[in-house]
């Protein structure tokens, strides 16, 4: 605890030092001499004429922009005097577009923003690589905003996603002792996770990313696109894309210190500093996270019913079981730098470091360390107001080390390096917007599941194009195609087609067809693993595997009027050449990856949201998932067929003190599932397992005090629901209620910067 306090004090000292550096008097002080003589300046206020710190002001069709300070003031420095179009935006408010002229001594603009009655004006980028309001996106997209994240105040991204996305399950892998995802019947290998639009390396649980890499305090928002997105994002995007967009500096100066304490259920300490001065943008953050190991034990065994081949049934009481969820100590560091060279050209670079020291598992002679470091850069060029060219590169190196403490030696048994080079072009010509690009992916994998813990590599390339045609003001159509080249599978073409119709001002319909594509992973191709290391049985890869494909059909309707928003979306997927384990059939217990299954899933999701005029927002969502995996007429799926989430969020300002309260809930229906085993006589027996209904609630209340101090008190698992250890294959077991305290110090607001 003392070391944590020392780190927190160091961050405080760094923030104060940066405060002195940043506090250079007037907001329009020219740190660049006389070079940028022409300026546009103004102030942004809310509906009560109160200043809005952190509002974004950008010049349409150019790379220039600014953020407002604690007084709501902004200034944009320019090379020449001429007229510009500005767009001013703030989360939860309707954006405003206005004309302005740069000059040596301009009059101060006054911009008043009004609260948005819905979220459809939020700008998203994941579906098309370009910024678009949510209401104009032809693919079904869900946004988890910064306000949503703050209302829940979660410790992990798994908790956040479960409370926000119905149909999402976080299971616990008994072998890796890490969580894995299932979203509306789609497993982790079909969900593509991105950070700032780029793939991430590394595997946590089987075919899942390491979710502890995602630091909640670094997340600005999350954009979730449902359904097959392989046309733009390639392999692994059959079930959807979850794009985690990280924070950046949005004010001339910002510095925050944040502490979250929930005892053995987790602690988190973060310090961040950001500068947005003239042409330079910088954002730095450092986080320490820790969570204790805990054990879930069942007082009695789970009851199962076995049906014999002769129709007889027997009831069996299992022995009590326990599940251990291992703790960790994690350090995260992120640094972003951006520079605007002129109206047409800008560049950004980003580096990140992650180190996870996992608690020592019982019986192990070593301690596990998960380490990742990544570096990337992006250059944006605007040939004209309606055209954009972006070139980017990302290097991501993830490894797992075992430190044998008796001999003080470290061995790397897993390393995954991904490098991606990307070139994108987008241009608007009348009623047509064209996007095209190239992507090159290089992957290296060293894995303890490969024979002799060796390594393999692969290179893949892709060309893609997409056109949006605004046939009328009410109707637009999007058509796209992607050609992937894999050195083993050569070329594969993936098409998509979708349409959006604004039937009325308040009613929108979307429909689409998309093909999904997933090439086998390097592990699925070349694995040769002795399960348990004791010769029990082997798990083999298969170099003859074919890529998986899917055909997805989607249809949705959205109603929006006043503060009421409702949407209903239907999706149906059919898979071909689905990859699964299967016995070799040679009398041994050995298994191999094969193209053995055709499968299909269907889902319906509905969302209701109502915004009252006095600061209350109610949101409810429901998902039905049909993942009926039939074996001899019995369901073998472990996907909950019915799930729902609920949120009531109230925020109001009383004088200079802000108050907020949020109640979040998640519910999953109970269901029955079967497993099949062979008897000694060759006949099959079927064991039925019943999973109970699961309901969880979280309550958070907070106040924002004058001087930049925010306090929050919350209760996670409000009604003390306790999972069963025997159900860990269905969800990460929760041990019960926990009380959370959070404090945030905004240095910029404290010193009125």
Query: Is the distance from CB of 330 to CB of 372 less than 8 angstroms?
Result: no
Q: Is 25 inside any structural domain?
A: no
Q: How confident is residue 32, by pLDDT bands cut at 50, 70 and 90?
A: very low
pLDDT tens across 484-505, in order?
998 888 899 999 999 999 999 8
**Most confident stretch, 470-474, 536-540, 654-658:** 470-474
What is the domain-level CATH number for residue 43? Answer: 2.60.40.4130
Look at 129 and 387; give whichever has higher pLDDT.
387
Q: Which pLDDT score, from 0 to 100, does residue 229 have?
A: 83
Q: With bands split at pLDDT 50, 70 and 90, how would you rate the model's confidence at 412?
A: very high
Residues 476 and 419 in one domain: yes
What number of residues does the chain have? Answer: 753
C-alpha closest to that of 604 among 588, 625, 586: 625
Across 551-558, average pLDDT? 93
Same domain, yes or no: 193 and 74: no
Residue 630 vs residues 53, 540, 637, 638: alpha-carbon distances, Å = 56, 26, 8, 12
Contacts of 18 (CB under 8 A, 6+ apart): 253, 255, 273, 275, 747
Q: Are 156 and 740 in contact (CB under 8 A)?
A: no
Last residue of a domain, one of 112, 145, 163: 112
Q: Per-residue confidence at 12, pLDDT binned at 50, 70, 90? A: very low
Q: What pairing do the DSSP bridges indicate for beta strands 240-246 and 191-195?
A: parallel
- Report the pLDDT averaged over residues 692-698: 94
- What's the chain's Rg over C-alpha atoms? 27
- Across 341-489, the runs of DSSP E, i.e. the strands, are 345-358, 366-384, 387-404, 409-429, 432-447, 455-470, 475-486
More confident residue, 632 or 543: 543
The stretch 206-219 carries a mean pLDDT of: 94
For residue 293, the model assigns a pLDDT of: 93
Identify the pLDDT of residue 453: 80
- Range with the poorest average pLDDT among 189-193, 349-353, 442-446: 189-193
Does residue 383 sit in the same domain as residue 272?
A: yes
Instruction: Return the higher-pLDDT residue of 205 and 376.
Output: 376
- What digits encode the pLDDT tens for the residues 356-365? 999 998 888 8
Of 106-120, 160-174, 208-222, where does the model show the most confidence? 208-222
Higher pLDDT, 544 or 185: 544
Q: Which of 203-217, 555-569, 627-641 has the lowest average pLDDT?
A: 627-641
Q: pLDDT-based confidence at 600, cuts 50/70/90?
A: confident
pLDDT at 35: 62
| Residue 70 structural domain | 31-112
Give me the CATH number covering residue 667.
2.40.170.20
- In angstroms, the CA 288 to CA 218 distance is 12
Residue 3 placed within a domain: no
179 and 107 in a common domain: no
What is the average per-residue pLDDT within 388-409? Answer: 94
In this structure, is residue 175 part of a structural domain?
yes
CB neighbours of 571 closer than 8 A, spacing ≥ 6? 184, 226, 227, 552, 553, 554, 602, 603
Task: Give exposure, 638-648, as e/b (b: 16+ Cβ within 10 Å).
Answer: bbbbbbbbbbb
Domain final residue, candidates 62, 77, 112? 112
Q: Which ranges constitute the DSSP H helices of 192-305?
A: 230-233
Same domain, yes or no, for 193 and 72? no
Average pLDDT of the residues in 5-23:
47
- pLDDT of 660 over the 80 cut: yes
Please compute the mean of the pLDDT values over residues 255-279 and round it to a whole number.
93
The pLDDT of residue 533: 67
Domain membership flag for residue 154: yes
Tell me, yes or no, whether 522 lies in a domain: yes
Identify which has the larger pLDDT, 205 or 697. 697
8 falls in which pLDDT band (50, 70, 90)? very low
pLDDT value of residue 687: 84
Residue 13 lies in a domain: no
Q: What angle do CA 574, 575, 578 make, to 5 degrees?
A: 160
- In total, how many domains does the chain have? 2
CA atoms of 132 and 129, how far apart (whole Å): 9
* pLDDT band per the 50, 70, 90 thresholds, residue 26: very low
Is the model more confident about 441 or about 452?
441
* pLDDT for residue 680: 63
CA distance linking residue 271 with residue 259, whole number of Å: 9
Cβ–Cβ under 8 Å, residues 648 and 151? no
CA atoms of 438 and 537, how far apart (whole Å): 43
* DSSP letter, residue 607: E
**Position 618 pLDDT exceeds 50:** yes
Q: Tell me: pLDDT of 377 over 90.
A: yes
What's the number of CA atoms in the CB half-sphere (13 Å) around residue 468? 20
Vertex 177 angle, CA 171 and 180, to 5°: 30
64, 77, 85, 327 from 280: Cα distances, Å: 11, 12, 22, 39
* Residue of 302 and 22 predicted with greater confidence: 302
pLDDT for res 584: 78
Give the best-scoring range by mean pLDDT among 116-120, 381-385, 734-738: 381-385
- In this structure, are residues 294 and 322 in contact, taking their beta carbons and an 8 Å threshold? no
125-139, 655-669, 685-699: range with lowest mean pLDDT: 125-139
Average pLDDT over residues 720-738: 87
Residue 558 has a pLDDT of 93
- pLDDT above 70: percentage of residues in the chain: 92
Residues 413 and 335 grouped into a single domain: yes
Question: In Å, how far are 67, 115, 279, 701 from 59, measured between CA atoms?
Answer: 12, 22, 13, 38
Contact between residue 457 and residue 526 where contact means Cβ atoms under 8 Å apart:
no
Rounded Cα distance between 276 and 348, Å, is 13
CA dihedral 132, 137, 142, 145 (to 10 degrees): 10
Q: What is the mean pLDDT of residues 554-581?
A: 90
Residues 47 and 170 in one domain: no
Answer yes or no: do 106 and 170 share one domain: no
**Stronger pLDDT, 51 or 5, i.e. the higher one:** 51
Give DSSP secondary structure letters for 209-232: --GGGS-GGGEEEEEEEES--HHH
Phi, psi of 294 (to 5 degrees): -140, 160
Residue 5 lies in a domain: no
- Looking at the structure, tell me whether residues 351 and 451 fall in a common domain: yes
Does some domain include residue 556? yes
Percent of the chain with pLDDT over 90: 56
Residue in 595, 573, 569, 571 with CA at minimum distance from that of residue 582: 595
Look at residue 68 and tell me whether its pLDDT is greater than 80. yes
Residues 691-715, mean pLDDT to the nearest whole number:
94
Annotate 449-499 with DSSP letters as a single string.
Answer: TBGGG-EEEEEEEEEEEEEEEE-SSSEEEEEEEEEEEETTTEEEEEEEEEE
98 and 180 in a single domain? The answer is no
pTM for the structure as a whole: 0.91
CA distance 741 to 265: 12
> Residue 628: what pLDDT?
66
The 3-state DSSP class for residue 649 equals strand
The number of beta carbons lying within 10 Å of the beta carbon of residue 721 is 14
Q: Are residues 444 and 574 in the same domain?
A: yes
> Which pLDDT band holds residue 517 (cuts at 50, 70, 90)?
confident
What's the pLDDT band for 678 if we cut at 50, 70, 90?
Answer: low
Residue 24 has pLDDT above 70, yes or no: no
Q: Check the CA dihedral 156-157-160-162 and report its sign.
A: negative
Question: 107 with 146, same domain?
Answer: no
What distances in angstroms separate CA 469 from CA 127, 167, 432, 437, one per listed residue?
Answer: 15, 33, 5, 18
- Among the ranges given (10-14, 27-31, 688-692), the one the predictor scored with the smallest mean pLDDT: 27-31
Last residue of some domain: 59, 79, 112? Answer: 112
Nearest alpha carbon to residue 289 among 262, 325, 254: 262
**pLDDT the model gives residue 121:** 67
Q: Tell me the HSE value of 640 on the side-chain side, using a 13 A CA sphere.
A: 29
């Amino acid at each position: 605890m003392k070391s944590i306090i020392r780190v927190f004090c160091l961050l405080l000292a760094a923030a104060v030092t940066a405060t002195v550096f940043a506090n250079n008097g007037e907001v329009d002080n020219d740190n660049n001499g006389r070079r940028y003589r022409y300026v546009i300046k103004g102030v942004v206020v809310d509906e009560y004429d109160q200043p809005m710190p952190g509002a974004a002001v950008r010049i349409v069709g150019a790379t220039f922009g600014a953020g407002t300070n604690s007084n709501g003031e902004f200034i944009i420095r320019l090379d020449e005097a001429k007229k510009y179009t500005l767009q001013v935006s703030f989360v939860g408010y309707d954006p405003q577009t206005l004309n302005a002229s740069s000059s040596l001594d301009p009059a101060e603009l006054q911009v008043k923003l009004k609260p948005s009655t819905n979220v459809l004006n939020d700008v998203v980028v994941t579906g098309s690589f370009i910024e678009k309001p949510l209401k104009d996106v032809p693919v079904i997209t869900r946004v988890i905003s910064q306000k949503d994240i703050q209302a829940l105040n979660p410790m992990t991204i798994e908790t956040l996603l479960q409370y926000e996305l119905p149909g999402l399950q976080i299971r616990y892998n008994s072998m890796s002792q890490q969580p894995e995802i299932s979203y509306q019947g789609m497993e982790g290998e079909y969900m593509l996770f991105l950070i700032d639009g780029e793939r991430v390396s590394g595997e946590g649980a089987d075919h899942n990313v390491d979710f502890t890499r995602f630091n909640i305090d670094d997340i600005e928002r999350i954009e979730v696109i449902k359904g097959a997105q392989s046309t733009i994002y390639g392999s692994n995007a059959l079930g959807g894309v979850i794009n985690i967009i990280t924070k950046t500096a949005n004010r001339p100066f910002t510095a925050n210190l944040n502490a979250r304490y929930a005892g053995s259920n987790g602690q988190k300490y973060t310090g961040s500093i950001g500068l947005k001065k003239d042409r330079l943008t910088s954002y730095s953050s450092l986080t320490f996270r820790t969570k204790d190991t805990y054990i879930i034990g069942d007082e009695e065994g789970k009851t199962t019913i076995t049906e014999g081949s002769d129709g007889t049934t027997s009831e069996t009481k299992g022995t009590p079981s326990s599940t251990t969820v291992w703790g960790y100590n994690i350090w995260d560091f992120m640094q972003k730098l951006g520079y605007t060279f002129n109206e047409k050209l800008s560049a950004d670079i980003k580096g990140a470091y992650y180190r996870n020291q996992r608690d020592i598992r019982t019986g192990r002679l070593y301690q596990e360390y998960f380490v990742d470091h990544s570096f990337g850069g992006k250059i944006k060029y605007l040939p004209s107001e309606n055209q954009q060219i972006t070139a980017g590169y990302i290097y991501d190196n993830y490894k797992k080390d075992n430190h044998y403490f008796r001999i003080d030696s470290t061995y790397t048994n897993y390393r995954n390096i991904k490098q991606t080079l990307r070139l994108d072009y987008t241009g608007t010509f009348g009623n047509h917007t064209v996007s095209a690009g190239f992507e090159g992916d290089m992957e290296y994998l060293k894995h303890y599941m490969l024979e002799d813990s060796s390594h393999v590599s692969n290179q893949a390339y892709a060309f893609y194009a997409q056109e949006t045609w605004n046939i009328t003001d009410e109707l637009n159509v999007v058509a796209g195609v992607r050609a992937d080249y894999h050195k083993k599978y050569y070329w594969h073409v993936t098409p998509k087609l979708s349409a959006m119709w604004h039937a009325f001002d308040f009613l929108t319909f979307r429909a689409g067809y998309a093909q999904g594509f997933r090439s086998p992973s390097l592990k699925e191709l070349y694995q040769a693993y002795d399960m348990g290391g004791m010769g029990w049985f082997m798990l083999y890869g298969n170099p003859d595997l074919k890529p998986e494909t899917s055909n997805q059909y989607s249809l949705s309707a959205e109603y929006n009027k006043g503060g009421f928003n409702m949407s209903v979306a239907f999706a149906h997927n059919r898979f071909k050449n689905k990859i699964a384990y299967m016995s070799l059939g040679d009398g041994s217990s050995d298994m191999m990856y094969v193209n053995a299954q055709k499968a299909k899933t269907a889902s319906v999701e509905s969302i209701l949201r109502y915004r009252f005029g006095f600061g209350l927002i109610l949101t409810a969502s429901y998902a039905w998932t049909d993942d009926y995996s039939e074996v001899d007429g019995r369901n073998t799926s472990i996907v909950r067929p019915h799930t729902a989430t609920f949120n009531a969020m109230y925020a109001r300002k009383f004088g200079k003190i802000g108050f907020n309260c949020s109640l979040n809930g998640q519910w999953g229906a109970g269901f029955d599932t079967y497993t099949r085993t062979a008897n000694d006589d060759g006949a099959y027996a079927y064991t039925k397992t019943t999973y109970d209904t699961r309901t969880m609630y979280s309550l958070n209340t907070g106040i924002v005090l004058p001087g930049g101090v925010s306090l929050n008190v919350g209760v996670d698992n409000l009604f003390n629901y306790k999972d069963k250890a025997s159900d860990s294959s269905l969800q990460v077991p929760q041990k019960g209620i926990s009380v959370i305290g959070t404090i945030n110090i905004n240095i910029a607001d404290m010193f009125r910067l």
